[in-house]
Amino acid sequence: MQRFLLALLIVGSVLSTSFACTRILWNKNQFGILAARSMDWPESTEPILWFLPRGMDRDGAKCGGETVVKENPLRWSSKYASLVTAIYGVGSVDGMNEKGLGGHLLYLAKTDFGPRDFKKKGVSAILWLQYVLDQASTVQEALNLLQKVQPVMIQAHGHNATVHLSLEDRAGDSAIIEYLDGKPKVHHGRQYTIMTNDPHYDEQLNLLSKMDFSQPGQDTPVPGNISPQDRFQRAAYF
Domain that residue 43 falls in: 2-237
Number of domains in the chain: 1
Give the span between the Cα atoms of 131 and 152, in whole angstroms: 13
Range from 67-71, 157-161, 198-202 carrying the lowest mean pLDDT: 157-161
Query: Who wins on pLDDT, 65 or 6?
Result: 65
Q: What is the DSSP letter of 163?
A: E
Most confident listed range (8-12, 44-48, 132-136): 132-136
Active-site choice (7, 20, 21, 154) = 21
Catalytic residue flag (residue 21):
yes
Global pTM reads 0.87
Phi, psi of 87 (to 5 degrees): -125, 145
Beta bridge partners of 167: 103, 175
Query: How high is the pLDDT of residue 156?
Result: 74
Beta bridge partners of 149: 121
What CATH number should be reported for the domain holding residue 155?
3.60.60.10
Range from 70-74, 75-79, 215-219 carrying the lowest mean pLDDT: 215-219
The Cβ-side half-sphere exposure at 6, using a 13 Å CA radius, reads 4
Query: How high is the pLDDT of residue 179?
Result: 98
Mean pLDDT of 157-173: 93
